[in-house]
């Protein structure tokens, strides 16, 4: 083997190692590196003490999810997003909504007319601030998500008004999208 051939071989070997490493480093979901309870497939209930939640959640998520806070209206990147995919609980990964049930309500928060399944949420009466409202919590981790109102569009007539900070979004796989588009034609 000539010297230039060896040099080429070495270069190619380095290149393939490099691209493998960078693939391994890719994160599939945002900001869940230090959250051990986050899973999009495990449906077993999560119960942690308040101080444990404080440790694993960002201050923004903790304030809404665990202290029933409300994010400022018109601040969530998901409010007007029309991307196709699935919305998960940002605290525990429980699948909550499909993008095709999302609509523009103009209320300032991401709005949906139907959850992925009835059992993905818990419904609780909320009479705070002199209002009669229904609070929705994630059924897996009991985090506060938002409220549901009865002024939504058909077919349900419901409006799930959800804080974007407690949502995680995953785009539908490109292949699935192509498949669905093929079906329409």
Is 17 among the annotated ligand-binding positions? no
15, 111, 125 from 101: Cα distances, Å: 44, 9, 24
Question: 26 or 115: whose CB is closer to Zn ion?
Answer: 115
The answer to whether 173 and 181 are in contact (CB under 8 A) is no
User: Which one is catalytic: 48, 64, 148, 161?
Assistant: 161
**How many degrees, rounded to 5, is the angle at CA 158 between CA 156 and CA 160?**
130
Contact flag: residue 138 with Zn ion (CB under 5 A): yes
Contact flag: residue 165 with Zn ion (CB under 5 A): no
Contact flag: residue 144 with Zn ion (CB under 5 A): no
The answer to whether 124 and 134 are in contact (CB under 8 A) is yes
The answer to whether 61 and 166 are in contact (CB under 8 A) is yes
| Binding test (CB under 5 A) with Zn ion, winner from 48, 61, 92, 162 | 92
| Binding test (CB under 5 A) with Zn ion, winner from 57, 91, 162, 165 | 91
Is 107 among the annotated ligand-binding positions? no
Contact flag: residue 158 with Zn ion (CB under 5 A): no
φ, ψ dihedrals at 142, nearest 5°: 55, 40
Contact flag: residue 140 with Zn ion (CB under 5 A): yes
- At residue 43, the 3 state secondary structure works out as coil
Which residues are documented as binding site for Zn(2+)?
89, 92, 138, 141
Give the binding site for Zn ion (CB under 5 A).
89, 91-92, 94, 138, 140-141, 143
């Amino acid at each position: 083997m000539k010297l230039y051939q060896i040099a080429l071989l070495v270069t190619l070997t380095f290149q393939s190692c490099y691209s493998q490493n960078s693939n391994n480093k890719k994160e599939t979901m945002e900001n869940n590196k230090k959250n051990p309870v986050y899973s999009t497939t495990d449906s077993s209930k999560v119960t942690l003490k308040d101080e444990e939640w404080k440790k694993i959640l960002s201050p923004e998520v903790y304030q809404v999810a665990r202290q029933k806070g409300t994010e400022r209206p018109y601040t969530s990147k998901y409010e007007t997003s029309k991307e196709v995919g699935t919305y998960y609980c940002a605290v525990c990964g429980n699948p909550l909504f499909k993008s095709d049930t999302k609509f523009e309500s103009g209320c300032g928060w991401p709005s949906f007319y139907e959850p992925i399944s009835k059992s993905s949420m818990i419904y609780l009466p909320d009479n705070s601030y002199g209002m009669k409202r229904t609070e929705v919590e994630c059924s897996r981790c009991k985090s506060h998500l938002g409220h549901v109102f009865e002024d939504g569009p058909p077919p349900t007539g419901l409006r799930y008004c959800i804080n974007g900070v407690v949502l995680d979004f995953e785009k539908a796989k490109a292949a699935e999208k192509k498949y669905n588009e093929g079906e329409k034609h």
